[in-house]
């Protein structure tokens, strides 16, 4: 087993709708929102944690590959190969890694180290400059409530902070290549699933719709390859 290359994927991640990735802030502020977004403590600007991207893409691939039930809802890992072994399942673990629980030492040696590493995504500096020139803030406070079906009145008002639609982030990840393997197709499938689904919280209410533009592998465009991915085949 030999590391033969480390590839770099870059793109611009564009928000089609507002994005909420919570900061886990437990401090109550007068006039503040109930659910603030995660922000860089150095500049106060929102960012997308690499862990959020990795977790969401991995989850979508596990669902698409039919591996969720095998792990009883937990992340698919080495011990689950005992009942759900397949080339795709092994490639998933090669990409994202897994917890070495139980007697899985030989499997860990066969599969090797985690190949993929996501970077945190900062706001694109050019987009931020354009937003400031238009006196735009990078976040908004969205008011939501529930409607009493009998009385027809709004109840339980809440305010959720979102990064505004149209915001652009610098997307980057690295992909280790061992023994000349090709895990790029599975990774592209995961990225396409992300575009078809959502990122962050409240996706069922329209939050977190994203698109990747200008996707490049070591500086060479592979956007057409991503756009051509059909995770569920041509039949839907």
pLDDT digits (tens, 9 = 90+) for 213-224: 999 999 999 999
**Helix, strand, or coil here: 58?**
helix
Q: Specify the number of domains making up the chain.
A: 1
Q: Give me the mean pLDDT over the 136-160 stretch.
A: 76
Query: Which pLDDT score is estimated for 147?
Result: 75
Query: Which pLDDT score is estimated for 104?
Result: 78
Round to whole Å and give the CA distance between 62 and 70.
10
116-118/3-15 β-pairing: unpaired
Q: Give me the mean pLDDT over the 149-178 stretch.
A: 87
Establish if 76 belongs to a structural domain: no
172, pLDDT greater than 90: yes
Pair 92, 186: CB distance under 8 Å:
yes
30, pLDDT greater than 50: no
Complete DSSP assignment for 66-112: T-TGGGTTSPP-GGGGGTS--HHHHHHHHHH-----SS-HHHHHHH-
User: Considering the entire predicted model, what is its pTM?
Assistant: 0.88
Q: Which residue has the higher pLDDT, 109 or 58?
A: 58
Establish if 35 belongs to a structural domain: yes
Residues, the chain: 236
Establish if 205 belongs to a structural domain: yes
Long-range CB pairs of 21-30, under 8 A, 24+ apart, other chains included:
21/46, 21/48, 21/49, 21/52, 21/199, 21/200, 21/201, 22/201
Mean pLDDT of the chain: 88
Weakest mean pLDDT among 41-55, 70-84, 87-101? 70-84
Query: Which pLDDT score is estimated for 151?
Result: 74
Weakest mean pLDDT among 130-139, 148-157, 160-169? 148-157
| DSSP H helices in 125-218 | 125-133, 184-196
Q: Which domain holds residue 195?
A: 3-49+114-228
Establish if 235 belongs to a structural domain: no
The alpha carbon of residue 110 and the mean position of all alpha carbons in its chain are separated, in whole angstroms, by 27
Establish if 119 belongs to a structural domain: yes
Establish if 73 belongs to a structural domain: no
Query: Which pLDDT score is estimated for 79?
Result: 85
Q: Spell out the residues 6+ positions from residue 77 whose beta carbon is closer than 8 angstroms to its own.
A: 71, 93, 98, 99, 100, 101
Other Cβ atoms closer than 10 A to 182: 9
Query: Which pLDDT score is estimated for 70?
Result: 85
Other Cβ atoms closer than 10 A to 35: 20
Establish if 141 belongs to a structural domain: yes
The alpha carbon of residue 218 and the mean position of all alpha carbons in its chain are separated, in whole angstroms, by 21
Half-sphere exposure of 173 (CA within 13 A, CB side): 24
Establish if 32 belongs to a structural domain: yes
């Amino acid at each position: 087993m030999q590391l033969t290359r480390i590839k770099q994927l870059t793109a611009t991640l564009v928000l089609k709708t507002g994005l909420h990735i919570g900061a886990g802030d437990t401090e109550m502020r007068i006039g503040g929102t109930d659910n603030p977004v995660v922000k860089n403590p150095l500049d106060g600007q929102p960012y997308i944690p690499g862990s959020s991207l990795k977790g969401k893409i991995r989850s979508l691939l596990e669902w698409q590959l039919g591996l969720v039930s095998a792990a009883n809802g937990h992340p698919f890992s080495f011990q689950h190969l005992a009942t759900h072994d397949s080339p795709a399942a092994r490639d998933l673990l090669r990409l994202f890694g897994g917890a070495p629980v139980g007697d899985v030492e030989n499997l860990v040696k066969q599969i090797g180290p985690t190949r993929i590493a996501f970077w945190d995504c900062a706001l694109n500096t050019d987009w931020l400059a354009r937003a400031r020139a238009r006196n735009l803030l990078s976040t908004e406070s969205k008011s939501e409530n529930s409607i009493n079906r009998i009385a027809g009145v709004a109840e339980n008002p809440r305010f959720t902070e979102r990064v505004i639609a149209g915001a652009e982030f610098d997307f980057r990840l690295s992909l280790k290549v061992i023994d000349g393997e090709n895990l790029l197709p599975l990774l592209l499938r995961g990225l396409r699933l992300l575009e078809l689904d959502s990122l962050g919280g409240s996706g069922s209410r329209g939050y977190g719709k994203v698109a990747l533009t200008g996707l490049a592998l070591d500086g060479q465009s592979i956007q057409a390859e991503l756009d051509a991915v059909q995770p569920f085949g041509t039949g839907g």
